[in-house]
Structure 1
Amino acid sequence: MKFFWTFFWTFLLVHMATYVVSSMQGNAYDVATGSLLAVVATIIVIAIANVLPNEPVEHH
């Protein structure tokens, strides 16, 4: 379920950013570009989450 919500929020945020950036540059909004970037960003976010340790750090 966490993968679904990660994709959901990444999808929305990347599409929002794609829309804003394309509007600022004067280009047309492209859904395919936003979707491709959302998939890539989701994979990167999940990979980073898997690399980070979950154990608490021991204090010396």
Structure 2
Amino acid sequence: MAKIRITQTGSPIRRDKTQRATLVGLGLNKIGRTVEVEGTPDVLGQVRKVQHLLQVEKAA
């Protein structure tokens, strides 16, 4: 699997608690925080759930 870089760009305030939990599961909890993870189907599903709060790009 390819690595992807995920940056949180939106706030989880006034979001459903499942969306907040998804961000924490991805290792994000503050705007501007970035993580690099494997692009597995599980992770891509989490990204799809909160895609309006994230910026996703391929890691080098």
Shorter-chain-normalised TM-score: which range?
under 0.3
Higher strand share: 2
Q: Highest CA radius of gyration, 1 or 2?
A: 1
Higher helix share: 1
